[in-house]
Copies of this chain bind each other. A is one copy, B any other.
Amino acid sequence: MIDIRIQAGDFDPGRQLGRLEELGRAAVSGFVAMVEAAEDVTEILVEHHPVLAKNALRRIAEETERNWPLAGIILIHRHGRLRRGERLAFAAVAASDPRHALDGCCFLVDALRSRALFWRKELAADGSGRWMEP
């Protein structure tokens, strides 16, 4: 089971973990990315293109599925304007082996950070903005 969502709205990490728990496997590993930024940053803008972003997340999930025996993979990424402290993205997996769940989840998060096609601009109260590029 691979579920990929790209959305402007919030999500419920507990409910998403619950969907993976129901698969009956010994291990569910999850990660919530939150918006943390410097004091003067009031919000961030997450830019994306629906097709590019979806394809990139699908590739990431498929690669993860090939590398570890996982029963389920959920990837959620938000876009648009987000305030500090809001949820930004979610990655979680279910597996019978805790090691596979942990490694699979780490791989997802590393890929989200480096390969998910989203671009982040941090916006300050004075109207200035700065693109955050690795």
Contact = CB atoms under 8 A, between A and B. Distances in A.
Copies of this chain: 2
Main secondary structure of the interface of A (DSSP, over half): mixed
A102 B105 CA distance: 8
B27 A85 contact: no
Interface stretch (A1-9, A31-39, A57-65): A31-39
Contact of A14 (B18, B33, B85, B101): B18
Chain A interface bracket (under 10, 10 to 19, 20 to 34, 35 or more): 20 to 34
22 contacts: A13-B13, A13-B14, A13-B17, A13-B18, A13-B21, A14-B14, A14-B18, A17-B30, A21-B34, A24-B34, A24-B36, A24-B84, A24-B85, A25-B36, A26-B33, A27-B31, A27-B33, A28-B31, A28-B32, A31-B101, A98-B109, A102-B109
